[in-house]
Amino acid sequence: MTSFLDSIGYGRWILHVLLLLPVVGVVPVLLGREAWAKWTALVVTLAEFVLSVGLWWSLIPGLGDMQLVTNAVWIREWGIAYRVGIDGISMVMVLLTTSLMPLSVLASWRYITSRERGFYALMLTLLTGLLGVFIALDMFLFYVFFEVMLIPMYFIIGVWGGTNRLYAAIKFFIYTMAGSLLMLVAIVALVWRVRAVTGQMSFSYSYLLEHASAAGAAAPWLFAAFALAFAIKVPIFPFHTWLPDAHVEAPTAGSVLLASVMLKIGTYGFLRFAVPFFPQVALSPAVSRLMVALAVIGIIYGALVALVQPDFKKLVAYSSVSHLGFVMLGIWGMTLQSVQGALMVMISHGFSTGALFLLIGMLYERRHTRLIADYGGLARVVPVFSLILTLVALSSIGLPGLNGFVGEFLVLLGSFAAYPWATGIATTGVIFAAAYLLWAIQRLIYNRLDDRENEHLRDLSFRELAVLVPLVVGIVWLGLYPRPVLTRMEPASRKFVEAVMPGSTPAATLGATAAIPGSGR
Amino acid sequence: MHLTHMVWLAVALPVAGFLVNGALALWRPQAKTAVSVVGAGVLLAAFVVALGVFAGLSNDPSQAPVIVRLWSWLPVGRLKVDFAFQVDQLAAVMLLIVTGVSSLIHLFSIGYMREDPGYARYFSYLNLFVVFMLVLVLGSNFPVLFIGWEGVGLCSYLLIGFWFSDKVNADAGKKAFIMNRIGDFGFLVATFFIWRAFGNLDFAYVSEHAATTLAPGGAVVTAITLFLFLGCTGKSAQIPLYTWLPDAMAGPTPVSALIHAATMVTAGVYLVARTNVLFAMAPVSSAVVAGIGAVTALFAATIGLRQYDIKKVLAYSTVSQLGYMFLGAGTGAYASGIFHLATHAFFKALLFLGSGNVIHAMHQAYHATHSHEDAQDMRNMGGLRQYTPVTFWLMLIATLAIAGIPPFAGFFSKDEILAAAFARGADAPVYYVFYGMGVLAALLTAFYMARLMAMTFFGENRTGERERAHLHEAPWIMTGPLVVLGVLSVIGGAINLPPFIGGHAALEHWLEPVLEPGLRFSHLAMPTGSAEYVLVGAAVAIGVIGLWLGFRVTLGRSIPVARAAPPDRGFARVLSRKYYVDELYDALVVRPLVWLSRVVLWRGVDQRVVDGAAVNGAAVVSRLAGGGLRLLQTGQVGVYVVLFLVGAVWILRAVMR
């Protein structure tokens, strides 16, 4: 495979094509007939996926550096350039995005019935924005993509959403915008600070990373700005309330992409920017304790609030708060195991939660309600749907052998050395996760079928199976054989941990990890 | 390749069965013959594989433990978790019990579930259960064992709620899963401790290095073992996490026999034996294990005295017998715990399947006459030995076995546990208390079993005039497996005959290589000579007295049918309501948690504080501010440019300073 990719020069053009193709695809979507829009979008996103698959083989094994790097001058005076590239972490995030995109388009097939051209054009723009965020190696470019993905999502929620869509969309927009503006200020400030020390102005990620210590006394403030922007995106308690509203109002595809990819941009931002730029701040005892505490609060709080949601979509939204708490804990656990676990949770959550949103969307298309109380006893009527729902729920619960377990286990295992108490409390999340999902499952598909409207629901169609089966395969595969993914991410994770840890860590963490053979470094 | 390396096949066969039956359940639910052949066939084949593995191991025991590495599962830096099986003496015994008993119960199910519309689904779940159970007993490290550990819980959940249209059944399944999860939390935390201490999660590594890595009696090993035991209390239904098991009887009766008596619920005992060295190094934890075991044995037995549902009696009996096994394991008599696990698998599976035959007969009779009486309530039975004679005799054997009457299987295993607890009392007197509880529980065991037999099979028949004509013995496919279990309940004690009657403790010697690391830390001087004879004599006397009392008290008065029975009063009511523990948990845990989540966290923190005060408050403030700032929006570009420049210069100044 590698030699074939080399023969076509794959590594040289692939990232540009991935960024450009969706935007180019917008043209035929907008100019073509209304009825063709979804077909065009499907073809483009599928092509995008097929093209992206080659990335799997195009990284040098064992190397944690950025690869397939392109560096083209854009605005010379300000040191802004079109810089892109990937490492194992961004490669996996890119694949997650490109694999979920065609499924989201397929899931919108019947759900979106008005202004289809606009919808699919926005979906394609969103794809470029999402991919750009993961592969940009220039802070200005990153910021541009960060904004580019925000706007399509705003419209997707605001135009094709549910009854309260405007409130949700504006809340989503203002929240994210507030964070990202702060981040912009921080980026500019960092660039200026670095210039003041080195005499060179550059938005290059690697350059800034190398000279980030120039931030000096401003580092805590800059970190705070980055952290706030990403904390809103994740979202970390107490910045999470936009999420349930956005999810409930968004159309299925919006919810899927929001949960599966966009939330990960928050945690990705911590891994890529906030922590590596300012490790002294990020890993200072006070900040570490705060972040770990917020992560654990998120895990427990999200699960408990999910428990009592009458709306299934809201339940899943709060469960995301809980799952993303594991990611944050893993990042601050700061061992190879916990960071790899955090990444696995990001991927698994993309699959499981994406699938849950797809499933509830399918139910909504049939019955036009998301209230759990309106269902019950569905297993008799729609057995295939029920089977898949059960499997996906089990993966979300973290049943070992399915994907959810791998990440959660690694996060907890890796964080335990540094934060035994917090990790112990976080582990109780496995109990609450079982409680909220199994209770919901019971009220949806078990119990007596007592609503006559549910008696004649259709089971999944071929198209719906085509959407779900790839996710189910992924859920089982990642659960039983996560090794290929883990080994591809490991060099980058190792680099992250090693770059961030030395000399800058609180004595307790360093002492603990040094004294304990199992810290994995 | 050695026979032991074929062990993966024992797992692969039921995997195939699960996939085929699962597909049939979705697309050909009426293909019952195919389902039966596949469902039971893969298990019989797996049993043959198990025999081969066992033979391979006994030909060359020195090679144990054999690690059969299938693939690398969770490799992250120093962490190397392989999906691997470990064949050693303990795993081989469990492998035989699991595949053997499962085969019998699969065969029985062909008859018992014949009429059920979910036949194919049932067999696919049952096959899947065996897969996970085998992963549990064969896993070579903590995470792989955990796959099986949670997987059996999942199958238990699915099978308890098999008739899910009834909310009670679905509730029971969910309760089982969640209570097990509380235990699993303990298992996970123990795993994290082990990783921190050892940097390795393989059983072989941990037992080899425990003595040099951990301080005996230290805080770490105590914490590890207590958290592990929390896991055991969930899976094996011990206090405080036992309440799911009686509810689990909502599932089909063969499931109760297989999962909730013979195999899954014994996983905790297996886990203690598997990690024996850790428990042996933590005397405090071991005392907790023994103590919880003894208290559970006694406590559950008292509840068993006053249940009317035949399966509920057996369920509390199982909780109680599992308590014995933990008493043995906590005492350091790991082999005795496993011995009792084995004999209990035989006689308790027999009792459950026998009760299945009884329920089957009752159900058929009520079905034929369209009555809506409770087919499981013993007050509606009586005198059934005339109608189901084979079942009666087989259940009588099992009753003698569980009551500890020689030479039946349960006598030897229970006696060993009690003797061990007595012997441990010499170093730690608290074990005398545990021993006393065990003896008292044995008396109660004999009593409630005699009561069960008396109410079911003796006295006048209370099923009803018309129904009586329809009471029949079950077909051979159901009685056949019972006969095999009956034979095992009689002679099962032979696998570990004690020296005082001329045996040489075969099972104990067989398990020695696995248990040796633990025995190094806690040697147990078993009573010999006259002390031994006195203990044995006392145990037998207790069993006989209990049985005699049970029959006498039960048959001494007339039993009203369930419909006409007056409610229990006084302490009998406390017993029949199971000490109100479910109500207690509901009031102390479930409801406060839901209230906290709904009222405080969701409506309070989320909607009022975060969203109401902070977020929307900020919106109001900004709207007011916006009203003021609107004056600045003159629409003249020049003004904007000036404002923009002022702002930019201000920011840059701040940054450059």
Angstrom distance (rounded) from CA B368 to CA B360: 12
When scoring A201, A387, A431 by the number of chain B Cβ atoms within 10 A, the one with the most, hence best to mutate, is A431
B chain contacts of residue A400, beta-carbon cutoff 8 Å: 143, 146-147, 149-151
Q: Give the confidence band of B636 by pLDDT, cuts at 50, 70, 90.
A: low
How close B118 gets to chain A, by Cα (Å)?
10
Q: Write out chain A residues lying below 8 Å of B188, CB-based.
A: 409, 412, 427, 430
Contact: B75, A487; criterion CB under 8 Å: yes
Give the residue carrying structure tokens 């993905």: A149
CB-nearest to B601 from A305, A481, A516 is A305
CA distance B122 to chain A (A): 14
Closest CA–CA distance from residue A341 to any residue of chain B (Å): 9
- The closest of B468, B306, B463 to B380, measured between CA atoms, is B463
pLDDT attached to residue B65: 87
Q: H-type helices in A199-284, by residue range?
A: 205-211, 219-233, 242-249, 252-257, 263-269, 275-277, 279-282
Residue A45 to residues A92, A123, A356, Cα–Cα distance (Å)? 17, 10, 21
Give the CA distances from residue A21 to residues A115, A188, B13, B62, in Å, rounded to whole numbers and listed in that order.
22, 30, 48, 64
Among chain A residues, the shortest Cα distance to B168 is held by A447
Give me the residue label for tokens 């009429």: B115
Check CB contact under 8 Å for B151 and A400.
yes
Nearest chain A residue to B652 by CA distance is: A189
**Over the stretch B192-222, which tens digit does the pLDDT of each residue have?**
999 999 999 999 999 999 999 999 999 999 9
Please tell me the distance from the alpha carbon of residue B190 to that of residue B233, in angstroms, as a whole number. 14
Q: What is the pLDDT of chain B when averaged over all its residues?
A: 89
As a residue count, chain A comes to 521
Distance, in Å, from the CA atom of B539 to the CA atom of A1, rounded to the nearest integer, reads: 72
Chain B residue closest in CA terms to A494 = B77
CA distance B194 to B196: 5
Residues from chain B that touch A383, judged by Cβ atoms under 8 A, are 26
Residue among B169, B291, B299, B176 at smallest CA distance from B574? B299
pLDDT of residue B643: 62
Cβ proximity of A460 and A388 under 8 Å = yes
Closest CA to A110 of A483, A460, A486: A460
The whole-angstrom separation of Cα A178 and Cα A163 is: 25
pLDDT at residue B644 in the model: 60
The Cα diameter of chain A in Å comes to 74
Amino acid at B125: Y
Q: DSSP string covering B626-652, please?
A: HHHHGGG--S-HHHHHHHHHHHHHHHH
- pLDDT computed for residue B637 by the predictor: 60
- For B374-392, the pLDDT digits (tens) are 889 999 998 899 999 999 9
Amino acid (1-letter code) at residue B520:
R
Cβ pair A192:B655 closer than 8 A: yes
Burial class (CB in 10 A: 0-12, 13-18, 19+), A345: buried
Q: Nearest Cβ partner of A518 from B154, B195, B602?
A: B195
Q: What is the DSSP string of B75-114?
A: EETTEEEEEEEEE-HHHHHHHHHHHHHHHHHHHHHHHHTT
- Using a CB-CB distance cutoff of 8 angstroms, which residues of chain B are in contact with residue A430? 181, 184-185, 188
Apex B459 CA angle, B457 and B462, nearest 5? 85
- Res. A295: pLDDT tops 60: yes
Please report residues of A whose CB lies closer than 8 A to that of B196.
416-417, 420, 516, 518
Note the pLDDT tens digit of each residue in B509-566.
899 889 988 888 877 777 777 888 888 899 999 999 999 999 999 998 888 888 888 8
- A434 vs B72, B181, B199: nearest CB: B181
Closest CB to B192: pick one of A307, A416, A517. Answer: A416
Tell me: the pLDDT tens digits for B170-195?
889 889 999 999 999 999 999 999 99
Cα dihedral sign, B132-B137-B140-B143: positive
**Rounded mean pLDDT of A469-489?**
96
Per-residue confidence at A518, pLDDT binned at 50, 70, 90? very low
- Spatial separation of the C-alpha atoms in residues A461 and A301, rounded to whole Å: 36
Residue partners of A323: CB distance under 8 A and separation at least 6: A302, A345, A349, A353, A396
Question: How far does the CA of residue A43 sit from the closest CA of chain B (Å)?
Answer: 32
Question: Residue B654: pLDDT band by 50, 70, 90 thresholds?
Answer: low
A305 to B26: CB separation less than 8 angstroms, yes or no: no
Mean pLDDT of A34-50: 95
Which residues of B are less than 8 Å from A242 in CB distance? 615
Q: Residue ranges of the domains in chain A?
A: 283-521
Contacts of B178 in chain A (CB under 8 A): 431, 434-435, 438
> In Å, how far is A60's CA from the nearest CA of chain B?
18
The span from the CA of B156 to the CA of B167, in Å, is 16
On chain B, the residues whose CB falls within 8 A of the CB of A511 are none
Residue with tokens 């008290």: B553
Q: Identify whether the C-beta of residue B578 lies closer than 8 Å to the C-beta of residue B303.
A: yes
* Whole-Å CA distances, B306 to A406, B114, B454, B560, B573: 45, 32, 14, 15, 8
Judge: B601–A383 Cβ closer than 8 Å, yes or no.
Answer: no
**B60-70 per-residue burial string, b: 16 or more CB within 10 A, e: under 16:** eeeebbbbbee
Strand partners, A84: A70, A136
Name the residue in chain A with its Cα closest to that of B158.
A390
Tokens representing residue A449 in the block? 């079928």
**pLDDT value of position A506:** 36
Task: Note whether B178 contacts A434, CB cutoff 8 Å.
Answer: yes
Planar angle of CA A266, A268, A274, nearest 5 degrees = 80
CA diameter of chain B = 110
pLDDT at B599: 85
**Model pLDDT, residue B645:** 58
Q: B366 is written with which tokens?
A: 């009520």
Question: What is the pLDDT at residue B638?
Answer: 59
Crossing angle of the two packed helices A165-198 and A242-249, in degrees rounded to 10: 130
Contact A447, B167 (CB under 8 A): yes
Among chain B residues, CA nearest to A440: B174
Cβ atoms of residues B280 and B522 within 8 Å: yes
Considering only the beta carbons, identify the residue of B79, B182, B594 that sits closest to A431: B182
Scored b (16 or more CB within 10 A) or e, A213-241 reads: ebbeebbbbbbbbbbbbbbbbbbbbbbbb
Which residue is closest to B602 within chain A, CA to CA?
A305
Which tokens belong to A341? 């676990």
Q: Check A238 against B610: CB less than 8 A apart.
A: yes
Instruction: Point out the residue among B147, B177, B606 whose CB comes nearest to the CB of A305.
Output: B606
Q: How many CB atoms lie within 10 A of CB B571?
A: 10
| Beta bridge pairs of residue B74 | B81
pLDDT at A145 over 70: yes
Task: Quote the crossing angle between the two packed helices A483-500 and A336-367, to the nearest 10°.
Answer: 130
Q: Do B74 and A406 touch (CB under 8 A)?
A: yes
Residue B614's pLDDT is what? 73
Whether residues A305 and B75 touch (CB distance < 8 A) is answered with: no
Supply the DSSP symbol for A374. Answer: G
Measure the CA–CA gap between B410 and B344, rounded to whole angstroms. 7
CA distance A184 to chain B (A): 12
CB contact under 8 A, A483 and B73: yes
* A448–B195 CB contact, under 8 Å: no
Give the predicted TM-score (pTM) of the model: 0.92
Q: In this model, does residue B5 exceed pLDDT 90?
A: no
CA distance B471 to chain A (A): 31
Among B77, B167, B602, the residue with its CB nearest the CB of A337 is B77
Alpha carbon distance B292, B186 (integer Å) = 16
Q: Do A486 and B76 touch (CB under 8 A)?
A: yes
Q: Cα-flanking dihedrals φ and ψ of residue B197, to 5°?
A: -80, -40
Q: What letter represents residue A163's amino acid?
A: T
Counting beta carbons within 10 angstroms of the beta carbon of residue A487, is it exposed (0 to 12), middle (13 to 18) or buried (19 or more)?
middle
Predicted pLDDT at A322: 95
C-beta atoms of A487 and B596 within 8 A: no
Q: Which of B27, B76, B184, B602 to mutate to test the interface with A (most CBs of A within 10 A)?
A: B76
The shortest CB-CB distance from B76 to any of A171, A423, A520 is to A520
How many angstroms separate the CA of residue B461 from the nearest CA in chain A? 35
In the prediction, which pLDDT does B524 show? 79
Q: Nearest-CA neighbor of B21 among B115, B91, B119? A: B119
Interchain pair A442, B171: CB under 8 A? yes
A387 pLDDT more than 90 = yes
Q: Which residues pair with A82 in a beta bridge?
A: A72
The string of pLDDT tens digits covering residues B303-348 is: 999 999 999 999 999 999 999 999 999 999 999 999 999 999 999 9
Burial degree of B29 (CB within 10 A; 0-12, 13-18, 19+): middle
pLDDT of residue B70: 94
Long-range contacts of B486-491 (CB under 8 A, 24+ apart): B486/B350, B486/B393, B486/B394, B486/B397, B486/B398, B488/B346, B488/B409, B489/B343, B489/B346, B489/B347, B489/B350, B489/B397, B489/B398, B489/B401, B489/B408, B489/B409, B489/B410, B490/B397, B490/B401, B490/B407, B490/B408, B490/B409, B491/B409
Q: What HEC string does B241-286 produce?
A: CCCHHHHHHHCCHHHHHHHHHHCHHHHHHHHHHHCHHHHHCCHHHH
Residues of chain B above pLDDT 90, percent: 61
How far apart are the C-alpha atoms of B261 and B400, rounded to whole Å?
17
Per-residue pLDDT band for A396 (boundaries 50, 70, 90) equals very high
CA trace torsion B84, B88, B91, B95 (10° rounding)? 90
Structure-block tokens of residue A103 = 């499924």
Task: Choose the closest CB to B598 out of A308, A480, A482.
Answer: A308
Cβ <8 Å between B76 and A387: no
**pLDDT value of position B628:** 65
Interface contact flag, A192 B652, Cβ < 8 Å: yes
CA distance A241 to chain B (A): 6
Which range among A11-25, B129-143, B566-580 shows the weakest confidence by mean pLDDT? B566-580
B165 contact residues in A (CB cutoff 8 A): 377, 380, 446-449
Contact B610 A424 (CB under 8 A): no
Confidence of residue A521 (pLDDT cuts 50, 70, 90): very low
Q: What is the pLDDT of residue B630?
A: 65
- Do the chains contact at A434 and B26, CB–CB below 8 Å? no
Interface residue of A237, A305, A339, A402 to substitute, partner B, most B CBs within 10 Å: A305
Provide the mean pLDDT of chain A.
Answer: 91
